[in-house]
Amino acid sequence: MEQWAGLRVLAVAEVGAMVAKSEVGFSDGPDWKEKAVTVETLIVDDSAFARRIIRLQLEHLGCKVVGEADNGAQALKLFSALKPRLVTLDLMMPAVERVDALTAFRTIKKEAPNTAILIVTAVPFEKTRETFTEEGALGYIVKPFTPASFDQVRIRLLRVFPELAGSGNR
């Protein structure tokens, strides 16, 4: 574990150990990756480490990660090509080609209003959460991740994508 700006940051090895010990909120045995996957997902985060944690959590739920982007411009290109049903979106990414996270969010919602967008970010401010929720975000997870970070979102995902209930998630 490292300390960064007073926050606990888990090392990759720690995340792997948490997953193996089911400390990140799930335990289904060794075959969970073999379960049917039905919800195509695009992960958008400039941190490869965060993308890995998000991928592990969502794959466990039964989502199929079809793409990863590290900025909003790349996210919009992949979104148009892949048409995922779920997008995770980090808010603290550099703008590329004049596309920041808010622009990406609004563009996706305009092009495909039924796409579920999950905000995963280090921005803990209630006003920001309210803004994105009012504009249609499915949920809001604040980094750094804890073992309980995905619990409330898991419930919302099961409501929006009932087919995930057969994935053996908890």
pLDDT (average), residues 139-164: 91
**Confidence check: pLDDT of 169 > 90:** no
Question: Which of 22-26, 69-73, 110-114, 153-157 bottoms out in mean pLDDT, i.e. has the lowest?
Answer: 22-26
Mean of the per-residue pLDDT values of the chain: 82
Straight-line distance from the first to the last Cα atom of the chain, in angstroms, rounded to the nearest whole number: 27
Residues 6+ apart with CB under 8 A from 134: none
**Confidence check: pLDDT of 107 > 70:** yes
Find tokens 């049917």 and name the residue: 36
Tokens describing residue 69: 């982007």
Our measurement of the distance from residue 130's CA atom to the centroid of its chain's CA atoms, rounded to an integer in Å, reads 18
Residue-range domain boundaries for the chain: 2-163
pLDDT (average), residues 81-109: 96
Residues 6+ apart with CB under 8 A from 101: 44, 72, 89, 90, 91, 92, 93, 121
Residue 10's identity, in one-letter code, is L
Q: What is the pLDDT of residue 166?
A: 75
Residues 6+ apart with CB under 8 A from 152: 139
CA 66/CA 41 separation, integer angstroms = 6
Is the CATH number 3.90.180.10 carried by domain 2-163? no
> In this predicted model, what pLDDT tens digit does every residue of 18-27 receive, in sequence order?
444 434 444 3
**Confidence check: pLDDT of 70 > 50:** yes
**Confidence check: pLDDT of 7 > 80:** no
Find tokens 């794959």 and name the residue: 59
